[in-house]
Each structure stands twice: as C-alpha cells, then as structure tokens.
Chain A
Amino acid sequence: MNQTQTSTGPILTTDGIPLKVSLKKAERINKIRAFLLVLPLLAFILITFLVPIGDMLARSVDDRQINTVFPKTFEVYKKWDRQGLPSEEVYKTMFFELKNSEGYAVGKASTRMNYSKSGWKSLLKKSKRKFKKIEEGPFKEQMIAIDKKWADPEYWLALGQMVDPTTMGYYLNAVDLKYDSSKNIVQQKENRRIYNKTWIKTFKVSLLVTLFCLLLGYPISYLLATLPMKYSNLLMICVLLPFWTSLLVRTVAWMVMLQQKGVLNNLLVMSNLLADENRFQLMYNQTAVVIVMTQILLPFMVLPLYSVMKTISPTYMRAALNLGASPMHAFYKIYMPNSIPGVSAGCLLVFIIAIGYYITPELVGGKDGQMVGNWIAYHLKTTLNWGLCASLGAILLAMMTVLYWAYNKIVGIENIKLG
C-alpha cells in the first residue's frame, strides 16, 4: 500500500521540487519573453482597433448626451402623466436649464432632439436667444408666447424617448424603423425609408462582385498554378499589377472606359454594333459599381485560390485520368473539391471587403450605386449623426460575425488558406 502511494505521487526532480512545478518555472521566462515580443503589436491593436470598435458599439446606443444638458428637466418630466401639456414645473426647469447651459452643449442636445422630432433644433435656438429677456415666471405662458411649438404636446412627448441614457433609436433608424411619440416601434414614413433598400443593394452588389471574382479568378488561378514557371510568373505580375496602381487611378480609368461617350461605347458605335442613340449606360449606376469592384477585388480572390491550387498535386489529375475518368469528370470530382478551401477563403475575403466598400461606389455609383459605406460616410461628415453611423457600422460587424460563424459551421475555419 505504502509502495503504491509513493509510485503514484508526483515525480520529483533531483532537488526535490515536483517536476511539474519546475517545468512551469522553466517555461515561465520563455512565456514572458514571448509575450514581451508581441506586446507592442498587442498595444497597437488595442488602441487602434479594439478601443475604437468598443467606442463605436457604445456610441450606437448612447443617449447620455442630452441627459447631461437637461438632467433636472428629465427628473420632473418623468412625473408627467403624458396627457395634455406638462405642468408649469417642467416648463420652469426646462427654461432655466436652457438659459444657463452653454450654446455648444445645447447645439449637440438639440441635434439629438431633432432626430426624435424635427423642429426641436430651431425651437431651442430661437428660445435660448429670447429667454435672455425673461426674468421671472410663470414661464409656461411666456415660453408659448415666444414660440407656439412649446404648446404642441408632440414635442414634449418626443422627449420621452430620451429619458433613458441608452437608446435603440439609432438601430431602428438603420433599418427604417423609429419610435413614435409613445415609444412604440413603427415604420418610417414612406419617403424616408432608405436603409433597407441600401442594405439589400449592398448585399446584392457584394454577392455579385464575389461571384464574378470567383468566375474570373478560378481559371486564372488554375493557369497560375499549372503553367510552367516562366509563363506563370508573367501572369502573376499581370494579376498583381493592379495592386501597384493607385485605386483612384484605376477607378478613374474605368470612368473613361465606361461612360456614355467613353472608350467602350465609342468602339461599339464605331464598329456599327450599336446605334449612336442606344449607347449603354454603364457609368454612375450599380453596373458600374459591380464592374469596377470586381476588377479591384480580383487579386483578393486569385491569391488564396492560387496558394491552395499550388498545393494540389498534378498527380491527382493524372491518377483520375489513369483510373478512367474523362478530363472534365476528373476536374469536377477531384480538382474542384480539393480547391474548396481556396474558393471559400477567397469568397469570404472578397465579400467582407466588398460589403463595407466606400470609395468605388462613391466615385462611379451615382445615385443608384450608393452602398451602406457611403451612408456611413455621409452621416459621419455631413449630418454628424454619429450614433446612426455607429449603428450602421455595428450592424455590418454583426453581419460579418454571423457570416464567419456560419462559414465555420459549414466549411470549418481551419480549412481556410490564405497562402
């Protein structure tokens, strides 16, 4: 009994420390050293990638802005029964908070309030100016005298959406929904529904671009992988050449090619294949976006495909032929299944890049070719509605995560090969 106990006890090193402990100790220094090596990169990723994404996600639901300008108003507002107009107390706190706050803060808050009910912004601007003359109450009548909107319950009801420090309003906005004044989710007005169409368009364009990249990229990758070195190197340079050319130059070149009086149409007209009045509309629409993005993203399909195809031994095809399969059958049954990791890697890569693409739709898309990325840029730079930008971005991120998850379930992420 005693003997078995000693034999099952922990293995000791010669100085009596359990082997596992001293092994850990010996490996700890290596681990720390390895960690220190990747620390700069880790910090870089944290600061430039994870923190901004976290900030974006926070912004997409953040509604504190307004609560910092009108905290007391919201306190008394909560007691209101939402029937008729609010009490004198609500008007009074609103009056003082507006009068005493800084113009900059009011500007930001009013922008937010305008998302809930348009008209708030001008109302606050006008009121703040005129409030200076008013010294004492009752405030309700005096405020209504300044602007009749103060007597409109709709404006007061719209404030109710902003009481919570977080909101789903931006997300609703991003899919053509909104809160009504009693905080029910309803559809946007017909003429303001733009995002669902944009989402569908973005998906459609991304799928088409991925499909065309695959159709064009597969044969060229096959050639690259199977041709003798001297030809395949030349071909590889042709594939990579676009990578070395500025994106803008390439896009503008396409504009020259595709416009109505451009190279392609002119050639067709000159060769009498096309009547002068029937020139194709190939620029400033979705067609243009698909054509140009396919060209730009093609290398992202070719490179993973090539790297996988390079590993498919030519003897597989020989073996299949030897066993009696026709060349087509051998290709379909043997070569294609073995190239699947490259196909899926290429498709995933192209689709991910395409779905958030901005510059090409902006330049060649016209009104019809705008994608989600363009709306994000528009709200970021023009309307300054960062909450909506953040929610659009977060939805994109969520979609990619779902896609990645589905891909992992179906194909397995370990099958991906990027080179």
Chain B
Amino acid sequence: MSQKDSFVKFEKVDKSYDGEILVVKDLNLDVPKGEFLTMLGPSGSGKTTVLMMLAGFETPTSGEIYLDGNPISSIPPNKRGIGMVFQNYALFPHMTVKENLAFPLEVRKMQKSEIDEKVGNALAMVELQDFGNRMPLQLSGGQQQRVALARSLVFEPRLVLMDEPLGALDKNLREQMQYEIKHIHEKIGITVVYVTHDQSEALTMSNRIAVFNDGKIQQISSPDVLYEKPNSSFVAQFIGENNQLKGKVKSINGENCIVTTESGDDIHALKINVNNNGDGSLVSLRPERVAINSSENFENNFDAKVKELIYLGDHIRSRVEVCGNDQFIVKIPNSYKEENLKEGSTVKLSWKASDSRALDLN
C-alpha cells in the first residue's frame, strides 16, 4: 500500500503509561480511505489505547500518527475533526437529542438553518425523527446508541472511531445494530476504525480485522482470510471455534509438513509458522471441515471415539476423542443419518491436509 493510499497511518508507535510496560509495541498500521477496520482483541491487548491515541486523548510515547498524510500527534482532540462513538454513548444528559446533535455544529458556528437541516438529516439516517425532543435518558439503549452514532456523523468527520459501541446492548439488538452500522458505512463511505472484543461483531461488519494481543497486531486481513487461514495459534483460537492437536514437527516438505502427536499419530498439515523438525506445534482445524465416515480420500484419516452428542437443530455437535485430544469437536450436518451414531461408538474422521494448519505452540 503506498503512502497516498493510506488515510490513517501509524508509524512505529509505542505507548507506555507508567514508563515500564509498553501497552502498544512498535505499531505500524495503514487504513485506506473508506475502509471499515476493526481492531479485535481481548481486554488489555492495547486496542482501545490505539483508538484513544487516534482520537487524541492519549499521546504516543514514540512514533507518529498520520491522518490524510499529516502528522496529528500534536493536534488537540477538538481540532482533529474525528467522530467518535463512546462505549456508553456519552450523550449529554442535560440536552435533548436534537441539542446533542446540534452541539458539534454549534461549536463550528454554523447557521441556525444549516444546523436544523443537518440535525434533521442525521435523525432521519438513524430513523429517530420523532425523538428529537426527548432527553437521552428517555430513550432505550438501542435508540441511545443510534443517537450517539448520528452525533458522531452529523458534523461530517473524515474518520469515525467506535469504541465497543454495542457492548451495552442485548444480543438481538446488537446483531441488528451491527447491520445498521454496516449499512450506514456502505451508504456514506466514511472511514471507520472500530474496536471490539466480540469476534462475531468483527466478522459481520469489517472490511479488514486487526487482531491485537499483547500490544501487537497478530494478524491483519479480511474476515474470511482471518477465519480460514489464521497464521498463529492465538488468532486461530480467538476467532471462531477451533480444534487443536498438540505435537512435534516430524518432517517438512515445502508448503506441507507432518506433525506427530503425543499419541503417535501423524497429521498432514500446511506449514504456517513452524520452521524446524522437532519444533512443538499446535495443529489447528475448524470443526466444520472434519468429515465423518466419509468415503472420500483425504490425507488425514483417524478413528475416533464419540464422547458426547448434542443435538442443536441445524447440526449435531459431537465431542470425540482423537489423536489423544478428547475435546475435539465435530459438527455433523443435520442431513447425516446413521443409526449407530451414539455415545461410545467409534467413527472414522477425515480431513484435508490443506484444512489443517501447523501453527506455533503459543
């Protein structure tokens, strides 16, 4: 990505609060214009700090942040023109919805008529036309969330930051809002940097996801790549459901390798981030990529003992013991019918070498 393409750019940014521990380590990140980038990670991974540095509430200990090609580290937050949706919305409780939306326009000394028009448009965008004169506390959580979203967009910022904006909503509303935010982003084409610890939220909305851990980006790529091709065992574990088989690298053959588990089984897998024979490795495998009693010829074929079967409607979730791992999950499709599938029975599992990824031991 060239310098021109990158709208937001972090260059060698470090951040420490106490002078001892770096919460953000040597961060380099480019966000092109119009992208929806999600920073995903467990709490304490540094993702919120990165957002706060971008908003101007924290300053980088070293390195520089560029917005549209200009360094912004020395610009105070009120001069940056970046919209932000806060975790608990931060709607001003003593102002009506309209006054909340008009606030950023008033501080920019716009004409009254212009303000009214923009506030009206913003309310229409989040479908809250009839709620303009309510106080924030008279609104439901979802409505407050939408007001906060409208307020962050009403002054037409170049960039919008969202700090776990859906964290306080219940599950259904959260899913609904995910789509609404995604649609608004698609409609107005604004650049969004979004922070969450919820992986399904990240997968639903983002163009790209940056997975944070321990102050560093572990992997940054589109949702499908992140899910299908995790390049570290942390990412594999953090995103989606994942089976792990622990072993040592036996042999490496170009792109592929063989990992021997403690139970003595050889697993054919893609070589991702193991380097030498004898290295410890976790082989990662998505449950839905494992076939049961299949006639097809895959590289990996093992007998497994069924430990537990849970009927979940669209699929049967079964926990089996294979290659010394008794927490191995297989998702058996609803269409699979076999009379003798029951707890304690033995089944044949098979999967492609290209679906199993030999990752670091973490």
A residues with a Cβ closer than 8 A to B are 313, 315-316, 318-327, 329-330, 333-334, 337-338
- A interface footprint on B86-98 (CB within 8 Å = 1, 0 otherwise): 1110111110000
A338 to B135, CA, bound (A): 14
- A interface footprint on B126-164 (CB within 8 Å = 1, 0 otherwise): 000000000000000000000000010001000000000
- Closest chain B residue to A327 by CB distance? B78
Q: Tell me whether B88 and A321 are in contact (CB under 8 A).
A: no
A206 to B135, CA, bound (A): 36
How far in angstroms is the closest Cβ of chain A from B260?
A: 53
- Which of A313, A320, A325, A329 sits near B88, CB closer than 8 Å? A313
Most buried by A among B77, B88, B108: B77
- Which of B79, B92, B107, B155 sits near A319, CB closer than 8 Å? B92
How far in angstroms is the closest Cβ of chain B from A339?
A: 10
A97 to B90, CA, bound (A): 80
Q: Tell me whether B92 and A334 are in contact (CB under 8 A).
A: yes
Q: Is B236 in the interface zone, CB < 8 Å from A?
A: no
- Which of A313, A318, A325, A338 sits near B103, CB closer than 8 Å? A325
Q: Tell me whether A316 and B108 are in contact (CB under 8 A).
A: no
Chain B interface residue count, CB cutoff 8 Å, equals 25
Q: Tell me whether B78 and A338 are in contact (CB under 8 A).
A: no
- Which of B77, B81, B94, B151 sits near A318, CB closer than 8 Å? B77
B residues with a Cβ closer than 8 A to A are 55-57, 76-79, 81-84, 86-88, 90-94, 103-104, 107-108, 151, 155
A333 to B100, CA, bound (A): 11
Q: Tell me whether A322 and B94 are in contact (CB under 8 A).
A: no
Q: Tell me whether B88 and A322 are in contact (CB under 8 A).
A: no
List B contacts of A334 (CB < 8 A): 92
A329 to B84, CA, bound (A): 18
- Asked whether A322 and B77 contact (CB < 8 A) given A313-B88, A315-B86, A315-B88, the answer is yes
What DSSP secondary structure best describes chain B's contact surface?
Answer: loop
Q: Tell me whether B90 and A324 are in contact (CB under 8 A).
A: no
Q: Tell me whether B78 and A322 are in contact (CB under 8 A).
A: yes
List B contacts of A338 (CB < 8 A): 92-94
The 18 sampled A-B contact pairs (Cβ below 8 Å) are A313-B90, A315-B86, A315-B90, A319-B86, A319-B90, A319-B92, A320-B92, A321-B57, A321-B76, A322-B55, A322-B82, A323-B151, A324-B79, A325-B104, A325-B107, A326-B78, A338-B92, A338-B93
A323 to B77, CA, bound (A): 9
A326 to B78, CA, bound (A): 6
What DSSP secondary structure best describes chain A's contact surface?
Answer: helix
A316 to B90, CA, bound (A): 5
List B contacts of A322 (CB < 8 A): 55-56, 77-78, 82-84
Q: Tell me whether A324 and B107 are in contact (CB under 8 A).
A: yes
How far in angstroms is the closest Cβ of chain B from A134?
A: 81
A320 to B57, CA, bound (A): 12
Q: Tell me whether A320 and B103 are in contact (CB under 8 A).
A: yes
A337 to B95, CA, bound (A): 10
- Which of B77, B93, B94, B108 sits near A321, CB closer than 8 Å? B77
Most buried by B among A319, A333, A338: A319
A173 to B325, CA, bound (A): 97
List A contacts of B83 (CB < 8 A): 322-323
How far in angstroms is the closest Cβ of chain A from B229?
A: 36
A321 to B86, CA, bound (A): 12
A372 to B163, CA, bound (A): 58
A322 to B157, CA, bound (A): 10
- Closest chain B residue to A326 by CB distance? B78
How far in angstroms is the closest Cβ of chain B from A31?
A: 32
A316 to B148, CA, bound (A): 12
- Asked whether A324 and B88 contact (CB < 8 A) given A337-B94, A338-B93, A338-B94, the answer is no
How far in angstroms is the closest Cβ of chain A from B56?
A: 8
A321 to B107, CA, bound (A): 10
A324 to B151, CA, bound (A): 12
How far in angstroms is the closest Cβ of chain A from B99?
A: 10
- Closest chain B residue to A317 by CB distance? B90
Q: Tell me whether A329 and B55 are in contact (CB under 8 A).
A: no
List B contacts of A321 (CB < 8 A): 56-57, 76-78
- Which of A324, A326, A329 sits near B155, CB closer than 8 Å? A324
- Closest chain B residue to A333 by CB distance? B103
A334 to B77, CA, bound (A): 16
Apart from the given pairs A315-B86, A324-B78, A325-B78, 12 other A-B contacts in the complex at a CB distance below 8 Å:
A315-B87, A315-B90, A318-B86, A322-B56, A323-B103, A323-B104, A324-B104, A325-B103, A326-B78, A330-B78, A333-B103, A334-B92
